[in-house]
């Protein structure tokens, strides 16, 4: 069995090179079809995300083993770039190093943000795309299924995924939930309709938020976001009136000056009747005057406040890395042992078949010489022969099983084949 990985990621390759080697889903399929036509006896999986492109190739034919140079040349051909332009930029991993790397990738230990959940689904999709193109992929199936298992073990046995590390997720999961027990009865005001507002609303919707009002200078953009979350859109001029009725505010505009000054807030403060106001000012520069945070029952958080919590959570995630790495090593050893054992399965089968054949010949010769044996006596003799053969075969078979992960396993298989004169 031979497994090769060549690829690039955010860790060692510039974005310019990653862009040149990126594949769309349609291009992934086309590349896999081309690879199948060029190397029909090999397996291939192509993983392409915004942060990495990795090409995994596997085969078990000694006369057609994949190589890193061939994989690099194939990627260059698919992206219409010169091999020399990318070869020094790509990382190469072979056999167990390639397998362990995939385990780390699937478990998000190699991600830009350690512990992010999206990469596992991307690994699954890459494998499934290959299954759609290639009829049989026994090696890749074993490797990728073990990678998925490893990722799930790390998710369940460590706390690497528990702590939120994006500003919107921390804002809702770590802060808002400490102030509000429920969100379905809260009036939520969203100021701005950009990506930060959308991500924050995603987390709020997961918490059950329903009463969402949106204001934005561009009504068209606000209506697109409102349609996604069942929100209502209001004119920009109603901002302060909506603030008077809000329980929670998410502000993400690109304004150069505060859009809610202390004076403007004071104008509606009495109407709020001391109700709690939770404000997530995610804009830079800030949309809310910081002095508003000193007002009664106002909880005002800026991006800097939230980033400090994000950094704290990220440090907590990284503390889990040693435990996660031990799981990767454990799963890699198990995979290697199983793979080597599968490689010896043919030898074990031949050894048992030869023993059974010789046992049958000798039993027949013995029964022919011992006339007058009844069925009970014949059964006892067969049982004795079975036990004898089993005891003779036990040591070599046990060695093949128990030493499957040892470096000398292939030499052990060859020794067994020579000692018992097994032929292909």
Q: Determine the average pLDDT of the residues in 17-40.
A: 92
pLDDT for residue 163 is more than 70: no
Tell me the pLDDT band of 424, cut-offs 50, 70 and 90: low
Which residues contact residue 338 at a Cβ distance below 8 angstroms, ignoring those fewer than 6 apart? 142, 404
Q: How far is it, in rounded angstroms, from Cα 326 to Cα 329? A: 5
Pick the CATH number of 167-312 from 2.160.20.10, 3.40.50.720, 3.40.50.2300, 3.90.470.20: 3.40.50.720
DSSP state of 41: T
- The average pLDDT across 40-59 equals 93
295 annotated active-site: no
Q: Is the pLDDT of residue 395 over 90?
A: no
Q: Computed over its alpha carbons, how large is the radius of gyration of the chain?
A: 32
Q: Which of 50, 78, 295, 310 is catalytic?
A: 50
The whole-chain average pLDDT of the chain stands at: 89
Closest CA to 319 of 163, 141, 97, 133: 163
CA distance 278 to 179: 8
Spatial separation of the C-alpha atoms in residues 246 and 183, rounded to whole Å:
12
CATH 3.30.460.30 range(s) for the chain read 2-162
Q: Which residues of the chain are in CATH 3.40.50.720 domains?
A: 167-312
State how far the Cα of 170 lies from the Cα of 164, in Å rounded to an integer. 5
Place of tokens 């770590």: 174
In this structure, are residues 68 and 83 in contact, taking their beta carbons and an 8 Å threshold? no
Looking at the DSSP assignment, which residues form a beta bridge with residue 212?
188
- Rounded CA separation 344/123 (Å): 29
The upper half-sphere exposure of residue 1, i.e. CA atoms within 13 Å in the direction of its Cβ, equals 23
422 versus 400: the higher-pLDDT residue is 422
Contact 190, 218 (CB under 8 A): no
Tell me which fold the domain 2-162 belongs to: Beta Polymerase; domain 2 (3.30.460)
């Amino acid at each position: 069995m031979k497994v090769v990985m060549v690829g690039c990621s955010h860790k060692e390759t510039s974005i310019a090179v990653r862009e040149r080697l990126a594949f769309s889903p349609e291009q992934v399929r086309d590349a896999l079809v081309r690879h199948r036509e060029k190397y029909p006896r090999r397996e291939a999986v192509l993983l392409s995300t915004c942060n990495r492109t990795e090409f995994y190739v596997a085969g078990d034919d000694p006369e057609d083993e994949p190589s890193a140079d061939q994989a690099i040349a194939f990627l260059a051909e698919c992206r219409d770039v010169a091999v020399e332009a990318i070869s020094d930029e790509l990382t190469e991993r072979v056999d167990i190093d390639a397998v362990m790397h995939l385990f780390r990738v699937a478990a998000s230990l190699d991600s830009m943000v350690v512990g992010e959940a999206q990469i596992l689904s991307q690994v699954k999709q890459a494998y499934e795309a290959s299954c759609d193109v290639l009829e049989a992929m026994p090696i890749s199936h074993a490797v990728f299924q073990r990678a998925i298992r490893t990722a799930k073990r790390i998710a369940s046995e460590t706390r690497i995924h528990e702590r939120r590390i994006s500003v919107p997720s921390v804002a809702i999961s770590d802060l808002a939930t400490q102030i509000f027990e429920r969100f379905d009865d809260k009036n939520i005001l969203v100021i701005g309709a950009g990506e930060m507002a959308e991500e924050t609303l995603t987390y709020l919707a997961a918490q059950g938020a329903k009463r969402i009002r949106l204001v934005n200078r561009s009504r068209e953009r606000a209506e697109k976001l409102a349609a996604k979350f069942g929100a209502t859109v209001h004119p920009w001029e109603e901002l302060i009136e909506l603030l008077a009725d809000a329980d929670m505010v998410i502000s993400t505009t690109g304004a150069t000056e505060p859009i809610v000054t202390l004076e403007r807030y004071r104008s509606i403060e009495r109407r709020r009747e001391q109700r709690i106001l939770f404000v997530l000012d995610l804009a830079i520069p800030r949309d809310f005057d910081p002095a508003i945070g000193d007002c009664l029952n106002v909880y005002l958080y800026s991006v800097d406040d939230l980033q400090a919590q994000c950094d704290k959570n990220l440090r907590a995630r990284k503390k889990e890395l040693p435990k996660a790495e031990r799981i990767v090593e454990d799963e890699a050893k198990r995979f290697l042992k199983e793979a080597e054992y599968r490689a010896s399965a043919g030898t074990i089968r031949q050894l048992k078949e030869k023993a059974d054949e010789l046992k049958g010949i000798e039993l027949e010769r013995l029964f022919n010489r011992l006339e007058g044996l009844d069925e009970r006596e014949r059964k006892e003799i067969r049982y004795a022969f079975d036990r004898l053969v089993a005891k003779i075969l036990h040591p070599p078979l046990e060695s093949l099983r128990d030493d499957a992960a040892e470096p000398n396993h292939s030499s052990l298989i060859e020794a067994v084949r020579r000692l018992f004169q097994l032929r292909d």
